[in-house]
C-alpha cells in the first residue's frame, strides 16, 4: 500500500479518503492505528485519545459495541496537508437495534503522510433494519456499491 503525502491534489485526497474507509471497514484496531502518527491527537465525540495505543484501545471498544459496522466516507474539501470528509456508517448493538451514524471529520497530516490530527463530530440516528442502505459483506465496500451522494445521504 502506497503512502500518499501532502500537499494533496483532488485525486490524492480522494485516494486518501478511500484508503481510510477501507482501513476502518477492516475493523482491525491495530491496522487502523498504523496510519496515525505516534502522538496523533483525536477528538471523537466526548473522547480525546492521544497516540496509537489509546487510538487502538478506543477502536477495540468501539467495534465491540458497534456490530456489523459498515462505513462510507466521502471527500468534502482539501487544502495542503488537510482533508475534510463526511461519512455515514451503519451498525447494530448487542440487542439488535440498528443505527446510522452521520458525521464530519477534519484531518491534518504530517509530511510523511501519517495523520497527526483527527477531529470528528458524529450523530446517531436509530433506524429499522429494513432502512439499512449498506448491504455488502463485512470488509471493504465494493467499488460498484453506491457512495453517500448516490444513496441520497
Mean pLDDT of the chain: 97
Q: pLDDT digit string (tens) for 87-109?
A: 999 999 999 999 999 999 999 99
Domain spans of the chain?
Answer: 10-131
Closest CA to 5 of 26, 19, 22: 19
pLDDT at res. 99: 98
pLDDT at res. 3: 76
Mean pLDDT on 71-93:
98
CB 153 within 8 A of CB 133: yes
pLDDT at res. 2: 62
Hey, what CATH topology would domain 10-131 get? Nuclear Transport Factor 2; Chain: A, (3.10.450)
Mean pLDDT on 105-130:
98
What are the distances in angstroms from CA 112 to CA 32, 35, 61, 109, 118?
16, 10, 28, 8, 16
Amino acid at each position: 500500500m502506497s503512502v500518499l503525502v501532502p500537499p494533496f491534489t483532488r485525486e490524492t485526497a480522494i485516494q486518501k479518503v478511500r484508503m481510510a474507509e477501507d482501513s476502518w471497514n477492516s475493523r482491525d484496531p491495530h491496522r487502523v492505528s498504523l496510519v496515525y502518527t505516534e502522538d496523533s491527537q483525536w477528538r471523537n465525540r466526548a473522547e480525546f485519545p492521544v497516540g496509537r495505543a489509546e487510538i487502538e484501545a478506543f477502536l477495540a471498544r468501539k467495534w465491540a459495541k458497534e456490530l456489523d459496522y459498515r462505513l462510507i466516507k466521502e471527500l468534502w474539501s482539501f487544502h495542503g496537508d488537510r482533508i475534510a470528509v463526511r461519512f455515514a456508517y451503519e451498525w447494530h448493538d448487542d440487542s439488535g437495534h440498528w443505527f446510522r451514524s452521520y458525521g464530519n471529520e477534519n484531518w491534518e497530516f504530517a509530511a510523511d503522510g501519517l495523520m497527526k490530527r483527527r477531529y470528528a463530530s458524529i450523530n446517531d440516528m436509530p433506524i429499522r433494519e429494513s432502512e439499512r442502505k449498506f448491504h455488502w459483506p463485512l470488509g471493504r465496500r465494493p467499488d460498484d456499491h453506491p457512495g453517500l451522494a448516490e444513496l441520497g445521504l
